[in-house]
Copies of this chain bind each other. A is one copy, B any other.
Amino acid sequence: MDRPATIKDIARQLNISISTVSRAMRNAPDVNPETRKAVMALSEELNYLPNKLALSFKQRSTHNIGVIVPNLDYVIATMVKGIDEVALEAGYTVMVCQSNESFGREIVNTRRLLDSLVDGFIISVSSETKVFDHIRKIQENHMPMVVFDRVTSALSAPSVGLDNMDGGFQATEHLIEQGFKRIAILAGPKNLSISNDRMEGYLKALKKHRIKPDNDLIIHCDFNQDYAFVATQELLAMKKRPDAIFTISDRMAIGAMLAIKQKGLSMPQDIGLVGFNNEPVVSLVSPAISSVEQPAFELGKMAAKLFIETIHNNGDMSHVREVLKPKLYVRESSLRIPEKNGRLR
Q: Which residue of chain B has the shortest Cβ distance to A84 in the bound complex? A: B98
Q: Which residues of B contact A115 (CB under 8 A)?
A: 52
Q: Which residues of B contact A94 (CB under 8 A)?
A: 95-97
Q: With A94-B97, A112-B88 given, is the CB distance from A117 to B72 under 8 Å?
A: no
- A60 to B64, Cβ gap below 8 A? no
Q: Which residues of B contact A4 (CB under 8 A)?
A: 141-142
Please state the number of chain copies in the assembly. Answer: 2
- B93 to A56, Cβ gap below 8 A? no
- A17 beta carbon closer than 8 Å to chain B: no
Question: CB-CB contacts of A295-334 with B at 8 A, as 1s and 0s?
Answer: 0000000000000000000000000000000000000000
- A285 beta carbon closer than 8 Å to chain B: yes
Q: With A54-B57, A84-B97, A88-B112 given, is the CB distance from A64 to B117 under 8 Å?
A: yes
Interface size on A, residues (CB 8 A): 40
Cβ-neighbour of A72 out of B62, B81, B93 (below 8 A) = B81
Quick one: which of A72, A88, A100 has the most chain B CB within 10 A?
A72
- B84 to A93, Cβ gap below 8 A? no
Measured in the bound complex, the distance between the Cα atoms of B281 and A227 in whole Å is 18
- A220 beta carbon closer than 8 Å to chain B: no
Measured in the bound complex, the distance between the Cα atoms of B117 and A52 in whole Å is 7
- A93 to B113, Cβ gap below 8 A? yes
- A211 beta carbon closer than 8 Å to chain B: no
